[in-house]
Amino acid sequence: MGRVTIGIDLSKPLEELWNDIPRKRRGDIRRAKRRGVKVEMDSHYGGFRDIYRGTRKELNLPPWDISRREMESCKLFVALDSEGDVVAGEAFMFCKRRMRIKHVASKRYDPEKRSIAGLAHALLVWEAIKWGKKRGIFDYYDFGGYNPDGYANKIDVTTINVWKAGFGGSIIEKVC
């Protein structure tokens, strides 16, 4: 197998997808709901771009701005905390019957928002999986990559790998 990613097989029944998620992660999703986190689609572009810039800065990645045009070619999911602040987001592209993450960011580096950002992001992923499943046109929810050696661009991505695997997906070949 060449380049790989983690994928969630959207042909499974929704209940099975939920049960495939480890118990702790399901608890994170429930806690996010209890704390008033809301997930919205195709809104809050500016808020997403702001946290995206902050995430890249925290990871010591070169700045890269996402144009409005590029964002409009994606499906954007954002998680808002109970105060209405964008705390996590994912922009998806669609390729070969996959909804693949193209851009992802969260406020997990913000000491005041770290806790809620992780919970919110878990809820956001679950809502995106449900959205993709409901459409019936995607085979996989694709996390956009997986680095078996734990490093990408000289950055330790072990915790990112663990995060992606924490939704019960499997390693599949990256096709786009």
- Containing domain of residue 98, as a range? 21-142
Answer yes or no: is 154 within a domain.
Answer: no
Q: Give per-residue burial for 145-169: e unless 16+ CB within 10 Å, then b.
A: bbbeeeeeeeeebeebbebbebbbb
Contact 106, 117 (CB under 8 A): yes
> What total of structural domains would you count in the chain?
1
CATH number, domain containing residue 71: 3.40.630.30
Domain membership flag for residue 99: yes
- pTM of the shown model: 0.89
89 part of a folded domain: yes
- CB of 51 closer than 8 Å to CB of 86: yes
Answer for the pair 98, 175: CB distance below 8 angstroms, yes or no.
Answer: yes
Q: Are 80 and 40 in contact (CB under 8 A)?
A: yes
* 69 within some domain: yes
Q: pLDDT (tens digit, 0 to 9) for every residue of the chain, 176 residues total?
A: 678 899 999 999 999 999 999 999 999 999 999 999 999 998 888 899 899 988 888 877 777 777 767 777 789 999 999 999 999 999 999 989 999 999 899 998 888 998 999 999 999 999 999 999 999 999 999 998 888 776 666 667 778 888 898 999 999 988 88
Helix (H, G, I), strand (E, B) or coil at 33: helix
Q: Identify whether 101 is part of a domain.
A: yes
State residue 163's pLDDT score: 86
Query: Taking CA 21 as the corner, what is the angle to CA 164 and CA 2, rounded to the nearest 5 degrees?
Result: 40
Do residues 27 and 169 lie in contact, with contact meaning Cβ atoms separated by under 8 Å?
no
Q: Which pair of tokens denotes residue 157?
A: 């991505």
DSSP 110-140: STTTHHHHHHHHHHHHHHHHHHHHHH---SE
- Residue 116 domain flag: yes
- The helix/strand/coil state of 43 is coil
Tokens 């956001």 correspond to what residue?
A: 124
